[in-house]
Each structure stands twice: as C-alpha cells, then as structure tokens.
Amino acid sequence: MTSFAPPPSSPLLIVISGPSGVGKDTVIQRMKERNLPIHFVVTATTRPPRPDERHGVDYFFVSREAFARMIEEDELLEYAIVYGDYKGIPKQQVREALASGKDVIMRIDVQGAATVRKLAPEAVLIFLTTETEEELVRRLERRKTESPEDLKLRIATARQELKRMHEFDYVVVNREFALEETVDTIIAIIDAEHHRTVPRKVVL
C-alpha cells in the first residue's frame, strides 16, 4: 500500500484590507481575543493616538522625523500617506514572525495591499466590506471622528476603494451585529489555505 504524505504547510502572510468604516480594527481585535496562534503586525504611524489606543499594541506612534528615518533605512515593507499621515509596516517584524512558523496578519489600506501583492505575490489578500455602499457611508458618518471636510474625503476614497475589490483573493462582508460570523469566515479562509495541494510560500 502506497503511503501519502500531504505537503507541509508554510506560514501565511495574510492581508486584511478594505475602506475606512468596514470594521477592520474591530475584526482584528476580536481575532486577538480568541488567542489564535497568529502574529498580528503592529503598524507604525505618524498620526496621534485616539483616546482608546495604546502605543505598541494598536500602533507604533512615531514622529514624522522617526518615520522618515525608517524610510531612509529601508525598514518598512510598505508605507503610504493615509489622510495626511504616514502609515507603514515594519519589515523585520514580519520576517521574524514568518521565520517562527506563525501565520502573519497585516491590517493595511487598499493601496498598501497592492504594494504587498507586488512584493509578496503569495500573500493572501482579504477584502473586508459592508453589505452595501450606503451602509458604509452610514458607518463613517456615525463615527463622528472627522470634520465634515475630512468625512467627505473618506467617503469619496472609500467609494473608489470598493472598485478595487477584484484585486483581492477573498471578499468578506462584515455585517452589522455579526462580528463572530465575520471572524469565523476569515479563520475558515486561513484554514482552507493551509490545506492547499500546492502551499503558498512567502518570500520577503
């Protein structure tokens, strides 16, 4: 009888992206609370922290000078200007997590996801969205964290980002009051990816 050994599974580089207001932070937080064997990348940003955010947990809050130094020293996997502030993924953090054998999840914007796709074609790209465009607009309006001018900019940007959904491997609808369902779907995607006949091998 011939024995069959399935191909070994490699750690995955997973991108969770989507427009502002779809609930990326909430989904990531719930995944953390489930104590999954996953490394969640902490993004560096030049924007000031919101009242409930902690340095080194939600983001690395750095000065523009420090961020410029990170760019010059090639320490970032990708970076972009998002609504007037810089955001970027520390390269070493991702490499060390993958080397440890852990799956790595990055929460980045849509343009950042496109950059990661070029750098790491084997990354798993998940687009998080709402049931309708109208629902997304309502969520952004409900946050009340921006001025009317900034809100208009976010809504216009979100509408453009929705058009790039086809660039991703998966689309997950984060329905109102269905957070657990959203997280379950993402975990199912990750589990399925680990059962591919040809495993993804991320090289950075």
Q: pLDDT tens for residues 123-155?
A: 999 999 999 999 999 998 888 777 888 889 989
pLDDT at residue 9 tops 70: yes
Per cent of the chain over pLDDT 70 is: 96
Q: How many whole angstroms separate alpha carbon 94 and alpha carbon 102?
A: 10
**Full set of structural domains in the chain with CATH:** 13-193 (3.40.50.300)
Q: What is the pLDDT of residue 122?
A: 96
Mean pLDDT computed over 165-186: 97
Please determine, for residue 183, whether its predicted confidence score (pLDDT) is greater than 80: yes
Q: DSSP character for 55?
A: B
Confidence of residue 93 (pLDDT cuts 50, 70, 90): very high
Q: Which two tokens stand for residue 52?
A: 């409930």
Average confidence score pLDDT of the chain: 92
List the single range of 13-17, 84-88, 141-145, 155-159 with lowest mean pLDDT.
Answer: 141-145
Known catalytic residue at 107:
no
Q: 203: pLDDT confidence band, cut at 50, 70 and 90?
A: confident
Catalytic entry in 34, 69, 138, 143: 143
Residue 30 annotated among the catalytic residues of the structure: no
| pLDDT tens per residue across span 36-75 | 999 999 999 999 998 889 999 889 999 999 999 999 999 9
CB 182 within 8 A of CB 127: no
Which distant-in-sequence residues (6+ apart) come within 8 Å of 167 by Cβ?
113, 114, 117, 125, 127
Torsion of CA 109, 110, 114, 117, to 10 degrees: 70
> pLDDT at residue 8 above 90?
no
For 18-41, write each residue's pLDDT tens digit: 999 999 999 999 999 999 999 999
The answer to whether residue 64 is catalytic is no
